[in-house]
A and B are shown apart, each in its own frame.
Chain A
Amino acid sequence: MLFFSFFKTLINHTVTVELKNDIRIYGTLRSVDQYLNIKLDNIDIVNLDQYPHLSSVKNMFIRGSVVRYVVLPQAEVDTTLLEDATRREAANQANKA
């Protein structure tokens, strides 16, 4: 659940999502769920002319399973904190097992 929590901290920030079919979508992260499905607002598509079906789309829901990368705003990511959280999560998992 760590990455779910992590993505929640990025809500209302702009991210770029690259899908497995190479579409890159730039937009404001509106919502994320436990499958890492993503909802973006005010989207901009890189190379929109190649994807005419998205020309009238403003907000979209992306199924988590088709996401290749999410490009994050660097200023909003505290890698030390994230590393720390990862260790804690790993420790929790070890305790459970």
Chain B
Amino acid sequence: MERHSVHENPTGGQSANAHQSLTPQNVVAPQGPLITQGPPQLPPQMFTTAAQLLDLTDKKLVLVLRDGRKLIGVLRSWDQFANLVLQDTIERLYAGNLYADILRGLFIVRGENVLLLGEIDLDKEDEIPSTLKKAPFEEVFELKKKEDNERKLSDKTRHNKLQPHGFEPEHSGEVLF
């Protein structure tokens, strides 16, 4: 395991971890005297949103949005803001110990709404926790609506109690799930 100094080595010498898709001309080869300046560094191209999303492309992912929706689909395209295109998407609703799937189709998601993108391990994909049961959409939807309302109420109560003490709600009152 290599260590990197806080100060970037401007030459960005190639390391064992260098991304394979980097073209040779993008990578500045370590030069003789510079090697002695510090440990090897990953090339700067590794540290862009594009580089991070590149190896998730064409994979089956679960996308969690800021409003709590869980979308499962294949990532086809993206940009530096994490705007995403998902193909063959389903939305999975969870409520209590039930879940339901709804076919949604193609999504273009604006980056600001993205919470996280998880790569689904295809070996574990079908191992849905035994506590969860698949149920008809309508049933899960109603249950979820009830749960959401309860949460909204309890958030509101907490906010009303905290506000006189000078606490402002986190993320400017917007609820993240």
Contacts and interface: CB of A to CB of B under 8 A. Distances in A.
**Genuine A/B complex:** yes
A85 B116 contact: no
Most buried by A among B1, B2, B82, B112: B82
A52 to B, nearest CB: 5
Interface residues of B, number: 48
B52 A12 contact: no
B120 interface: yes
Interface of B: 1-8, 17, 42, 46-49, 51-53, 56, 62, 64, 66, 68, 70, 82, 92, 94, 99, 111-112, 114-121, 124-125, 127-129, 131-132, 170-171, 176-177
Q: From DSSP, what is the main secondary structure of chain A's interface residues?
A: mixed
B92 A33 contact: no
Contact of B1 (A6, A12, A37): A12
Contact of A20 (B42, B124, B171): B171
Nearest to B114: A63
B99 A52 contact: yes
Nearest to B39: A9
B6 A21 contact: no
Contact of A11 (B4, B82, B99, B112): B4
Interface in A10-58: 11-13, 19-21, 31-35, 37, 39, 49, 52-58
Given A11-B4, A85-B7, A37 B124 contact: no
A11 to B, nearest CB: 7
B52 A33 contact: yes
A21 B128 contact: no
Given A52-B94, A66-B176, A81-B6, A37 B82 contact: yes
